[in-house]
Structure 1
Amino acid sequence: MTIRLGIVMDPIQSINYKKDSSLAMLLAAQKRDWKLYYMEQKDLFQEDGVAMGNMAPLEVRANPEDWFSLSDRETEKLSSLNVILMRKDPPFDNEFIYSTYLLEQAEREGTLIVNKPSSLRDFNEKYFATLFPQCCTSSMVSRDMGLLREFAEKHEDVIFKPLDGMGGTAIFRVKKGDPNVSVILETLTNYGNQQIMAQKFIPEITKGDKRILIIDGEPVPFALARIPQKGETRGNLAAGGTGVAQPLSDRDRWIAEHIGPTLKEKGLLFVGIDVIGDYLTEINVTSPTCICELEDQCDVVIADHLMKVIEDKLAA
């Protein structure tokens, strides 16, 4: 049986060829002679109770100047595909939620969705980490500026960040006596109308914010330590950090062992967790990245391993 794989992603013409994990997945799938179909969120719809897609047959190439070509779009049931990769980047807005409803309908009809649509809705990437307090530093989720200010005073050096951000956007470090704490909290909470996260600052950020990829509950043996620029507190590559691959530490493996079974149970087949020092800070479920950086620096095959796991699940 030839596997038909669909992908829902941001515009493929705008991706960063060298770093795009979705492209790495597509190249791995194509090497297995799977048929590829490309969609954006706008291409998903429902008619008479049936989830549909305007999908374009896709060919990908390992060529930084010419990495894809699309054929004429075909309107088909989403359930005509064996597997769909949901790789739309945040923001996690109402349109993203509506997309998960459509994908969930295809899932009920037998299509494997990576990651499971209901889990994409249920597990906010910042909040999800707090369900494993044994793995985390001290944290708080609140929109009460008084409580957040007390948290900052107690821990003296903290991070404030929105629950729906990505790539290090709108992350603030606040030290004891910072005169800007009020305006920071007013801005992030929209004057007490929006929940945010506070975390005790972890000094080991200077050694990198480690991205650990987990496939079907099992970690890839190398992490990408995203080391901040001088004078920065954010290691995110989008914020100018430098990615350095390194073997997982014993603590990294311990964290992965604690959360892996839950990820597997919830149908979160491909996940990227963030670890600073000894502490879990985020669990990224929407469109985790760093496949390319790890494959370039280490003797490890990630995208093809993910396709093998998908193939095995379809066979089962």
Structure 2
Amino acid sequence: MDFLFIADPLESFKIHKDSTLAMMRVAQAAGHRLWFCQSRNLLWKDNLVVADCQSLSIKPSSTSWYELAELESRALNSFAAVMMRTDPPFDIEYLNSTWLLSAAQRQGAKVFNNPSAVRDHSEKISITEFPELIPPTLITRELSAVEDFHQKHQDIVIKPLDGMGGMGVFRVGSDGLNLASIVETLGENGARTLMAQRFLPEITQGDKRVLLIGGEYVSFALARIPQGSEIRGNLAAGGKGVAMPLSDQERGIAERLAPVLNARGLFLVGLDLIGGFVTEINVTSPTCFVEITEQTGFDVPQFWLNQLEKALS
């Protein structure tokens, strides 16, 4: 089968741990043909959604690790599967890509994740659908609302809705030091909506990434543990990734959410859990395939491919 990966430039991949590359490797090893383009290479042309794309071969070398063939223009519905793996931010151009991908779906393309589901699913606000599973949370543009929330909970975390990798995450303790300044800066004086959550001290045991694939869950999580005085466990912010089996509580959350989200076309999801609370539901390009596989022996890329082939059958 021909698989098209829409992703960031190949030269930007961190080849020692990139989940998209892990998907590509296992698909190629299984005999599937790989194709690559960036989201900017999607076009509506001659009444079809097409991609100016290139056939891709993954090589064993750690330096020159890929080879691209000549550029071709192919309709998206000519691929067995289209994987949208472009990293956030979810800006207007990302949104434009989802609209083109939705048009491709109407023409018969099979896109993972479903672009309309991605478009309807804010990775942070989506947790409000499951209020019994989340920590005390506030979503607002109003400084006064954040001040009231802080007064009630004393120790809180504030973050922008469109951040990734721990960018723009601030903790404000009981002294309220710099609360107004943080809200005004992050919120651009009320122009941007922010999320505030009660600080969860369990972050010291890790911000756990739980992978849901094809309506099932991976039985190991990657606990991203903050280092030193840092409160962010994100690997991009210097957190240490430690794979561990899901607890009974985490398994229960995964069992509940996996079929619900998969039924909406969210084939691959990354739940973020701290202390048994769901803090984010990531659907754009969830990661941690390689770290879990290397530390536990559970082959996440192969599990992903098995689930994908099942979905395509």
Cα distance in 1 for residues equivalent to 2:48 and 2:58: 29
Aligned position for 1:45:
43
Most deviating of 234-243 and 111-120: 111-120
Aligned position for 1:108:
106
- Displacement of 1:257 in angstroms is 2.0
Matched, 1:291 2:271: no
Matched, 1:189 2:187: yes
Aligned position for 2:308:
310
Cα distance in 1 for residues equivalent to 2:298 and 2:59: 20
What's the secondary structure of 1:173's corresponding residue?
strand
Cα distance in 2 for residues equivalent to 1:201 and 1:15: 33
- The structure 1 segments of at least 4 consecutive aligned residues displaced by more than 6 Å after TM superposition are none
Matched, 1:159 2:139: no
- Displacement of 1:145 in angstroms is 1.0
Cα distance in 2 for residues equivalent to 1:47 and 1:292: 37
Most deviating of 122-131 and 230-239: 122-131
1:110 partner letter: G
Contact 1:225 1:246 in 2 (8 A): yes
What's the secondary structure of 1:66's corresponding residue?
coil
Residues 148-175 of structure 1: CA deviation (Å, up to 9, x unaligned): 1100110000000000000000000011
Cα distance in 1 for residues equivalent to 2:60 and 2:291: 15
Cα distance in 1 for residues equivalent to 2:256 and 2:306: 24
Most deviating of 305-314 and 158-167: 305-314
- Identify which of 137, 144, 169 aligns with 1:139: 137
- Displacement of 1:35 in angstroms is 0.9
- Displacement of 1:120 in angstroms is 1.0
- Displacement of 1:256 in angstroms is 1.0
- Displacement of 1:260 in angstroms is 1.5
Cα distance in 2 for residues equivalent to 1:270 and 1:246: 20
Residues 12-42 of structure 1: CA deviation (Å, up to 9, x unaligned): 1111011100000000110111111100011
- Identify which of 52, 55, 63 aligns with 1:54: 52
Contact 1:27 1:62 in 2 (8 A): no
Matched, 1:268 2:266: yes
Segments of 5+ residues of structure 1 without an aligned counterpart are: none
What's the secondary structure of 2:53's corresponding residue?
strand
Cα distance in 1 for residues equivalent to 2:7 and 2:121: 19
Cα distance in 2 for residues equivalent to 1:284 and 1:71: 32
Equivalent residue runs for 1:1-316 within 5 Å: 3-315=1-313
Contact 2:77 2:110 in 1 (8 A): no
Contact 1:28 1:303 in 2 (8 A): yes
User: If the length of structure 1 is used for normalisation, what is the TM-score?
Assistant: 0.97
- Displacement of 1:66 in angstroms is 2.4
- Displacement of 1:276 in angstroms is 0.7
Most deviating of 188-197 and 236-245: 188-197
Percent of aligned pairs with the same amino acid: 43
- Displacement of 1:249 in angstroms is 0.2
Cα distance in 2 for residues equivalent to 1:72 and 1:34: 18
Contact 1:132 1:259 in 2 (8 A): no
Cα distance in 2 for residues equivalent to 1:116 and 1:272: 15
Cα distance in 2 for residues equivalent to 1:195 and 1:42: 28
What's the secondary structure of 1:73's corresponding residue?
strand
- Displacement of 1:277 in angstroms is 1.0
What's the secondary structure of 1:224's corresponding residue?
strand
Gap change, CA 1:62 and 1:132, over 3 Å in 2: farther
Cα distance in 1 for residues equivalent to 2:63 and 2:288: 21
- Displacement of 1:176 in angstroms is 1.7
Contact 2:214 2:311 in 1 (8 A): no
- Displacement of 1:189 in angstroms is 1.4
1:273 partner letter: L
Segments of 5+ residues of structure 2 without an aligned counterpart are: none
Residues 231-290 of structure 1: CA deviation (Å, up to 9, x unaligned): 010000000000001000011011112212221111111111110111111011000000
What's the secondary structure of 2:70's corresponding residue?
coil
What's the secondary structure of 1:125's corresponding residue?
coil
Give the CA RMSD over aligned residues.
1.0
